[in-house]
Amino acid sequence: MAVDSEDVDLFNDEDNFKPATFSAIGGVGVDISRIAIDLTYEYGLSDLLEDGNGTRNNIASLTLGFVF
């Protein structure tokens, strides 16, 4: 879907954003010796914008850590 930059002005259109959204979050993690690795995914269940154009939060994250 192509969006013309004149159609969307996120900085001056705060009223178009919903005050809250719903998401489902899942993840897995593993500790190997002193290294911790976590992978999580957030799947947006509701639209971010009031006009219902299908814009949702879908976020994947990878976390690496060192246990000391």
Instruction: Please tell me the distance from the alpha carbon of residue 38 to that of residue 64, in angstroms, as a whole number.
Output: 7
Q: Is residue 9 part of a domain?
A: no
Strands (E), 1-68: 23-32, 35-44, 58-66
Side-chain-side CA neighbours of residue 35 (13 Å): 3
How many folded domains does the chain comprise? 1
Q: Is residue 1 part of a domain?
A: no
Q: Is residue 44 part of a domain?
A: yes
pLDDT at site 6: 59
pLDDT at site 68: 85
Q: Is residue 32 part of a domain?
A: yes
Residues of the chain below pLDDT 70: 1-13
Q: Is residue 30 part of a domain?
A: yes
The domain containing residue 48 runs over which residues?
21-66
pLDDT at site 4: 57
Q: Is residue 25 part of a domain?
A: yes
pLDDT at site 64: 97
